[in-house]
Amino acid sequence: MADHDHDDDHQHDHDHHHHHGEGHASELSEMQIRVRALETILAQKGYVDPAALDEIVETYEKRIGPHIGAKLVARAWVDEDFKKELLKDVAIASERIGLTEIGSHVIALENKPSVHHVVVCTLCSCYPWAVLGLPPTWYKSYAYRSRVVKEPRKVLADFGTTLPDTTEIRVWDSTAETRFIVIPQRPVGTEGWSEERLASIVSRDAMVGVTVLQPVIQEA
Ligand code: FE
């Protein structure tokens, strides 16, 4: 696996608040109440424009999310040149298909029968939010962060993923500067599918590398 380079003086960017975005359900609802109350007061006093707040929330909920990553993966599956470019530089490749807000921190890793990539942030919860949105709770859990490095096969099994012994598993440790998106193997049974249809089956967990995409069985 890659060396972990979380230096002590290393600045994690917390602008997206992914370390505090999710929690216990009761905490969350209390948080929502507090946020709503604060929002109301600020809006009443004329400090903030509710429409602008809605826009920010919508950005995180809809415009930024795993559908961005899925679009990249689907294109990579159907266009070998695009895939090469994506593996070389995610930001430049993304710009070519009109995704201009990816930034330069994301690296693409291609899963193959010989090698399976899985991503973690052992120190905290660095995550490629520009392509996958907000991280799932399990990604931030101590259990995942500590175990996936030591026993990746067992952790993958917990996610229902069993790989052949001949498949090498590589665990990649994220940092604020370097984040990863996994290009899963294209499932059999998807030959001839449109890019849009392909994108619809690319899951977030497969792009983190904890699951593989199952073969698609066509109904007769
Ligand atoms: Fe982190």
Q: How many Å lie between the centroid of ligand 1 and the Cα of residue 191?
A: 37
Same structural domain for residues 77 and 51? no
Model pTM score: 0.75
Question: Quick check: 83 pLDDT over 80?
Answer: yes
Cα dihedral 63, 68, 70, 73 in deg (nearest 10): 170
What CATH number should be reported for the domain holding residue 142?
Answer: 3.90.330.10
DSSP calls for the chain: -PPP---TT-----TT-TTTS---HHHHHHHHHHHHHHHHHHHHTTSS-HHHHHHHHHIIIIISSHHHHHHHHHHHHH-HHHHHHHHH-HHHHHHHTT-----S-EEEEE--SSEEEEEE-SSS----HHHH-SPPHHHHSHHHHHHHHH-HHHHHHHTT----TTSEEEEEE--SS-EEEEEPPPPTT-TT--HHHHHHT--HHHHHTSS-PPPP----
Q: Look up 94 and say whether it is catalytic.
A: no
pLDDT class of 61 with cuts at 50, 70, 90 = low
Q: Look up 121 and say whether it is catalytic.
A: yes
Number of domain units in the chain: 2
**Domain final position from 41, 62, 83:** 62
Same structural domain for residues 145 and 196? yes
pLDDT class of 27 with cuts at 50, 70, 90 = low
Residue 55 lies in a domain: yes
pLDDT of residue 12: 45
- Structural domain of residue 199, as residue ranges? 66-208
Q: How many Å lie between the centroid of ligand 1 and the Cα of residue 109?
A: 19
pLDDT of residue 134: 87
Q: How many Å lie between the centroid of ligand 1 and the Cα of residue 37?
A: 30
Question: Quick check: 30 pLDDT over 60?
Answer: yes
Q: Look up 114 and say whether it is catalytic.
A: no
- Backbone phi, psi, residue 171, to 5°: -105, 130
